[in-house]
Amino acid sequence: MYFSLKQHCPNFTLWILCLEEETYDLLSKMDLPKIKLIKMSEFEDERLLRVRPSRNPAEYAWTCTANLCHFMLKKEEVESITYLDADLYFFDNPEPIFVEIGNNSIGIIEHRFPKKQQEFTQKVGRFNVGFVYFKNDKVGQEAVKWWANKVIDWCFDRLENGLYGDQLYLNDWPERFPNLSVIQHPGAGLAPWNIRTSIPPKVIFYHFHAFKLLNQDKFVEAKGYFIPATKRKTFYRPYIEAIRKSITCVAQIDPNFNHGFSQFTRVEKLKYLLYNNPFLDIVTKNL
């Protein structure tokens, strides 16, 4: 994500919350420009430490999302912030998104599920948290604080009482908060759940949800999703090449760093091969 943003966006600062000490140590050694690192020890407050034991790693990461936005607006003198999931990849400059948001205080983007899959909106929410914009003004601060408080109260990987993780909290934001922009750019927020339609002329970013690294040579493009061949060529080939370059970059700094690789059981792999790509090992190894 960082290298794609750096390629297409000349002016940015990327703050990274390092959930593990190993991540902080590695990124410190890499000393990449335009990046500022945040340690958990400087980020976690009493409330976060109190709820952490009750949540699995994914749930706690979701809990940290809203609280990271709150932390940034309180700590940094910035005009605005945009939360980005680490599995986004930019194919073009995101400036058109911010032009669309304009003077609004909040910018959120819909999942845009196909009509036949609208039931997923009920489970995971109308909006996707992978890209969320807040202006550092009264409304932006109010929204971030409200969201941060809510995920402290409840943020779990299950559907319960109209809640799911940190995402379903956003469902009523267009009514709850003024000065909110629902991002309409067709090239923003593309993801494995919504790419069966035609590819827009200008693709800004793609959300590589469910992409798995098995080892340095083999990858699962989108576990649980069918990716048409044309979309695989357009989106996944350049991403896999970028992932390989990043792995090489990391290895040059720390040859023993092997975090991020997934364990894929034989049954899971068989299900994926039958559902998606019968040439997974060959295709991903020879892109």
For 252-256, the CB contacts below 8 A with 24+ separation are 253/26, 253/29, 253/30, 254/26, 254/29
pLDDT at 285: 41
148-187 b/e (C-beta count within 10 Å ≥ 16 → b)? bebbbebbbeeeeeebbbbbbbbbebeeebebbbbbebbb
User: Radius of gyration of the chain from Cα atoms?
Assistant: 19
Taking the C-alpha atoms of residue 2 and residue 7, their distance in angstroms, rounded to an integer, is: 9
Residues of the chain scoring pLDDT < 50: 278-287
What are the Cα distances from residue 140, in Å, to 47, 72, 132, 255? 21, 12, 11, 42
Residues of the chain with CATH 3.90.550.10: 2-182
Task: Report helix, strand or coil for 13.
Answer: coil
pLDDT value of residue 196? 77
The Cα-based distances of 35 to 14, 46, 163, 268 in angstroms read 5, 27, 33, 36
Runs of H (alpha helix) within the chain: 2-8, 21-30, 40-43, 46-51, 57-75, 95-101, 119-124, 138-153, 173-176, 229-231, 237-253, 266-275, 280-285
Residue 268: what pLDDT? 60
CA nearest 252: which of 68, 26, 52? 26
Handedness of CA 5, 7, 8, 14 (dihedral sign): positive
The per-residue pLDDT for 264 is: 62
Distance CA 181, CA 105 (A): 8
Q: Which positions ≥6 away from 153 have C-beta within 8 Å?
A: none
The CATH architecture assigned to 2-182 reads: Alpha-Beta Complex (3.90)
Would you state the pLDDT for residue 260?
Answer: 80
Beta-bridged to residue 14, according to DSSP, are 35
To which residue do tokens 């909006």 refer? 127
Task: Report pTM.
Answer: 0.90
Q: What is the Cα–Cα distance from 83 to 95, expressed in whole angstroms? A: 15
31: DSSP letter: T
